[in-house]
Amino acid sequence: MNAPDRYERFVVPEGTKKVSYERDTKIINAASFTIEREDHTVGNILRMQLHRDPNVLFAGYKLPHPLQYKIIVRIHTTSQSSPMQAYNQAINDLDKELDHLKNAFETEMAKHSREY
Amino acid sequence: MDGGMSYQRFPKVKIREVKDDIMKFELRETDASLANALRRVMIAEVPTIAIDLVEIEVNSSVLNDEFIAHRLGLIPLTSERAMSMRFSRDCDACDGDGQCEFCSVEFHLRAKCLTDQTLDVTSKDLYSSDHTVVPVDFSDPNEPGEQRGIIIVKLRRGQELRLRAIARKGIGKDHAKWSPAATVTFMYEPMIRINEDLMESMSLEDKRSWIESSPTKVFEMDPITQQLKWHLKLEVQVVGSRLTGEEGREDASYWLSLFRDVPMLPVKVVAEPESYTYDDEVIKKAEAMGKSGLVEIEAKEDSFIFTVESTGAIKATQLVLNAIEVLKQKLDAVRLSDDTVEADDQFGELGAHMRGG
Ligand SMILES: [Zn+2]
């Protein structure tokens, strides 16, 4: 009866930003990114990629509530970097990793179809 | 701002087997978060086409209208087109009506039973307006005459079903009928080490009962002195050296040649490491036998074995490639917008100002 519409899970409502950024008021080089209509799929790969960055002191994500269709990614970096820089870097690296994966997969497919 | 630093990984892929709707492959040199993201996207976010709207003209069957509409929705339709098609909600050609050629495919079904023989109404009775989007054909190419459509309803004499259906693009997150995945799973590749000295200290009887303690067939007795029987993949551990076999090698003399210069004899072979279910039974058994440390088993944290099975809507290989593409699009969507960055730059200057900078 009062269940939210199914599309609410993946359609960003009009007038809402996909990603919003909020600096921490007390800690320098710490910030939270609120990502609308995303879940563990994006949250977890971002977090793990951020952990590969030695300038990242803390990176974590949470899904505040299963019926609030958003995640919050929190990043704290050293003064050598910034949360925004680390965030962009993580996305770029994941994007390049996926490009590499796509090529590797296609190469394997071609090899496989030639062999069999 | 970009320091030119990169912490990118370069994953490796090895395909083990491919058929149209099922495939197995190894993914290495990445981590569980990416393996899991790919699995989740394959199940819930790779788009397909499925029936979404049904207008019933006549239905005198035993099933009610919504029951039939639900069954129609679950029929997999060939969806190679889906990636380039529009979602009805984003379609500007039909003002959200969701019935134009860019965002929908129309189907018609007419069936009436005129004999005393029960009539099966199947997915083969659905007529599509687009020859690229049709119900998946499960018929066996070896048995051409056989009818293998998906049964929608059965009609007796005098009963009739007549309807118009609209199929649309969608994702599994919206409704499972749009999921192209029958199953997508991955497992960690196990790394099995056997302490040869301890193994040699055991009697043949003890070795047998230890092998038997595993609920799945992971270990096998000495193949050198007995008949050789090789499985898909095997790792042979000999005192300090390690030999890893390739798939498909069933040639016993090839294997024996590998052992020629190795100081060995009775060697324990891990027959099928991947049948290990991380149940710890062999480890407990070794302890119970007073042979702790006989075997060490660890899950390699950067190696995964994927099994992908599709519903037939798209090929299994295409499902993986589409998942990579969709994940890339998702990442692209979460990039910071320019106005967010600008707003923060101003905030930063203001902050520096206030701090007396
Ligand atoms: Zn349209």
Q: Which of A25, A95, A18 has the alpha carbon at shortest distance from B325?
A: A95
Tens digit of each residue's pLDDT (9 = 90 or more) over B302-328: 999 999 999 999 999 999 999 999 999
Domains annotated for chain B, with CATH where assigned, are 8-46+180-235+263-337 (3.30.1360.10), 49-178 (2.170.120.12)
d(CA B156, CA B60): 10
User: How confident is the model over B129-144, as a mean pLDDT?
Assistant: 86
| CATH for A27 | 3.30.1360.10
A96 in any annotated domain: yes
Q: How would residue B55 be classed by pLDDT, with cut points 50, 70 and 90? A: very high
d(CA A42, CA B243): 39
Range of the domain at A85: 11-113
A63 in any annotated domain: yes
Determine what percent of chain A falls in helix, strand and coil, rounding each to the nearest 5: 40, 25, 35
A6 in any annotated domain: no
pTM reported for the whole predicted model:
0.85
Tens digit of each residue's pLDDT (9 = 90 or more) over B228-251: 333 323 344 433 333 444 444 445
Residues 54-93, chain A: which have Cβ within 8 Å of B? Answer: 81, 84-85, 87-89, 91-93
Tens digit of each residue's pLDDT (9 = 90 or more) over B166-215: 999 999 999 999 999 999 999 999 888 888 788 878 888 888 889 899 99
If you count residue pairs, one on A and one on B, with CB atoms under 8 Å apart, how many are there? Answer: 135
Tens digit of each residue's pLDDT (9 = 90 or more) over B255-285: 555 554 443 334 456 778 888 889 999 999 9
A107 in any annotated domain: yes
Tens digit of each residue's pLDDT (9 = 90 or more) over B57-81: 999 999 999 999 999 999 999 999 9
Q: How would residue A114 be classed by pLDDT, with cut points 50, 70 and 90? A: confident
Q: How many domains does chain A divide into?
A: 1
Q: Is B356 left (phi over 0), alpha (psi -120 to 50) or beta?
A: left
* B332:A94 CB<8 A: no
Average pLDDT, chain B: 85
Q: Are strands B241-244 and B127-128 parallel, antiparallel or unpaired?
A: unpaired
Residues 87-106, chain B: which have Cβ within 8 Å of A? Answer: 89
d(CA B135, CA B289): 58
Q: Which residues of B touch A111 (CB under 8 A)?
A: 15
pLDDT at position B248 is 42
Average pLDDT, chain A: 95
User: How confident is the model over B1-7, as a mean pLDDT?
Assistant: 70
